[in-house]
Amino acid sequence: MIINWLKKLFGSSEGTVSSKGTQEGTVKFFNTRKGFGFITLKDSDEEIFVHKTNIVGKIRDKNKVTFSIEQSDKGPIATNVRVIKK
């Protein structure tokens, strides 16, 4: 029961649909204590939810990142989030 609740809360890899290719964006907000935040898509005002379990390495506010978008039970979510090295 708890596992199903967690899957609903944070999304599950089962039944998710990936968007086309890798996206780029900027971390608008990320709360390290709570483990979530939002990424603004490049050339758009659209924001995508990101959870700490979908981040490779560490991210901070205003980092430029690449990521994939998957559809979870609660809407789109950023996965495989990586900081773009300068």
pLDDT for position 16: 38
CA gyration radius for the chain? 13
SS3 sequence, the chain? CHHHHHHHHHCCCCCCCECCCCEEEEEEEEECCCCEEEEEECCCCCEEEEEHHHECCCCCCCCEEEEEEEEECCEEEEEEEEECCC
Assess contact for 69 and 7: CB atoms under 8 A: no
* Residue 10 pLDDT greater than 70, yes or no: no
* Residue 53 pLDDT greater than 70, yes or no: yes
Assess contact for 21 and 8: CB atoms under 8 A: no
* Residue 18 pLDDT greater than 90, yes or no: no
Q: Which domains does the chain have, with CATH numbers?
A: 2-83 (2.40.50.140)
pLDDT for position 17: 38
pLDDT for position 4: 52
- Mean pLDDT, rounded, for 31-39: 97
